[in-house]
Amino acid sequence: MQPPARMRAVLQDGPGDAATLRLGETATPRPGPNELLVRVHAAGVNRADLVQREGRYPPPPGASPLLGLEVSGEVAALGDDVAGFLVGEPVFGLVAGGGYADYALLDAGCAIRKPAGLSHAEAASLPEAWMTAWLNLVELAALAPGETALVHAGASGVGAAAIQLAGLCGARAIATAGGEAKAAFCRALGAVAAVDYRTQDFAEAVRAEGGADVILDPVGGDYLERNVASLKPDGRLVLIGLMGGAAGRLDLGRLLVKRLSLRGSTLRPQPAAVKARLSDALREQVLPALLRGEIRTTLDRCFPFEQVADAHRHLEANLNLGKVVLTLDPAAMEQP
């Protein structure tokens, strides 16, 4: 069955708050070389979507201007040179944009077959969080067995993945979170300690635990000085977001004496080859651990496609424990 010429999608007439999001119609994309056209059953909601909605995170050149960076669904059409996939096959993966729509383009190198027993909503919750955690903890920070990772925003989608990934690497995770419910969520995922940043100085708490070898920080701002204080000698700080602001104080003397490394990192602008490699890690390392029960999905809440504005408000208010997902198919939350 041929995909329709037009499809539903989340549109905006201009940047702004969640009220600017609306359902409308647009042309269905056509797959190019090495691309799959996926009929979307579920799409992950990420903070990058919120920033793009506000007009502060434009998509990379050539990417869809529509929101949405991860999808799960079924193959609707194949582009030229695509091998190994069949129309109708369930797949999920990271997309460059356009996930908030009935159909989205997925690079074949990032396409992962959805395992039986994993719902489309669960599958859509995996790529952005786990590939971000893998890129930054494993590839950039080289987190080693026996080391300690401090994970800020531990109850977020990326934070929940990072806590569990640290455990898979044989490392310890310490998390920060806002409130006891979120701290308890982090401990349930394997964090050896969870610091309520609203009532505790996380730097003091981390030093009491022996310090951190690696810090994964989506906050920035005034966390910088305390991050440096929390790190052990030869520690590595990876900055992945600026939720707390773009300016912070850096003690260069402490950076020098402790031989610290500071690295900035974003996933979306990475080359296709890097995203394909990270997709391989998700397919070959994360999924088997998930199916063995060593880690788990952290699906906080699913919102129907029509309630996209509510999904954004839920995430903006920091109400989530784990991932927020949009469902375009009522059966997306069902396991086959």
pLDDT at 245: 85
User: Would you state the structure tokens that stand for residue 129, as one six-digit string?
Assistant: 């969080």
**Structural domain contains residue 221:** yes
Dump pLDDT digits (tens) for 239-256.
Answer: 999 888 888 899 999 999
**Tell me, what's the pLDDT at 77?**
98
Let me know whether 181 and 255 are in one domain.
yes
122 and 133 assigned to the same domain? no
Same domain (yes/no): 77, 151: no
Q: What is the pTM of this model?
A: 0.96
| Range 283-289 contact pairs with CB under 8 angstroms and sequence separation of 24 or more | 283/112, 285/134, 285/168, 286/126, 286/130, 286/134, 286/165, 287/112, 287/115, 289/168
Where is pLDDT greater, at 68 or 242? Answer: 68
pLDDT at 336 over 60: no
For 14-57, write each residue's pLDDT tens digit: 999 999 999 999 999 999 999 999 999 999 999 999 999 999 99
Of 220, 239, 264, which closes a domain?
Answer: 264
- Are both 229 and 144 inside the same structural domain? yes
Same domain, 181 and 118: no
Tell me what pLDDT residue 329 has.
85
Q: Is residue 67 part of a domain?
A: yes
Please say if the pLDDT value at position 333 is more than 80: no
Structure tokens belonging to residue 12: 């905006």
Q: Please give the average per-residue pLDDT across 292-306, as a whole number.
A: 97
Rg (CA), the chain: 20
148: left (phi over 0), alpha (psi -120 to 50) or beta: beta
Residue 188 CA to residue 197 CA, distance in Å, equals 18
Any domain includes 134: yes
The 10 Å Cβ neighbour count of residue 23 is 14
Q: Last residue of some domain: 264, 286, 307?
A: 264
Per the domain annotation, does 274 fall within a domain? no
What is the average pLDDT score of the chain? 96
Domain residue limits at 319: 6-126+297-333
Is there a single domain that holds both residue 155 and residue 36?
Answer: no
Q: Does some domain include residue 280?
A: no
Domain match, 97 and 133 both? no
> How far is CA 252 from each of CA 168, 180, 205, 217, 227, rounded to the nearest angstrom?
33, 34, 23, 19, 13
What pairs with residue 193 in β-bridges? 174
Judge if 68 and 140 occupy the same domain: no
pLDDT tens by residue, 182-213: 999 999 999 999 999 999 999 999 999 999 99
Residue 279: inside a domain: no
- Domain assignment of residue 83, yes or no: yes
Give the model confidence (pLDDT) of 258-287 as tens digits: 999 999 999 999 999 999 999 999 999 999
What was the pLDDT predicted at 330?
A: 78
Alpha carbons 92 and 69: distance in angstroms, whole number: 11
Q: Are residues 119 and 156 in the same domain?
A: no
Indicate if 62 and 149 belong to the same structural domain.
no
Task: Give the pLDDT confidence of 98-126 residue by residue, as tens digits.
Answer: 999 999 999 999 999 999 989 999 999 99
192 phi-psi bin (left φ>0, alpha ψ -120 to 50, beta other): alpha
Counting every residue written for the chain, the total comes to 336
What are the tens digits of pLDDT across the range 122-152?
999 999 999 999 999 999 999 999 999 999 9
User: Based on the domain organization, do 149 and 197 belong to the same domain?
Assistant: yes
Using the predicted structure, report yes or no on whether residue 223 has a pLDDT greater than 80: yes
Same-domain check for residues 304 and 189 = no
Q: What is the CATH number of the domain that holds 49?
A: 3.90.180.10
Residue 137 lies in a domain: yes
| Residue 291 CB partners (closer than 8 Å, separation 6+) | 115, 117
Residues 249 and 183: their CA atoms lie apart, in Å, by 27
CATH number at residue 244: 3.40.50.720
Give the chain's domain count.
2
Structure tokens at 179: 């409130």
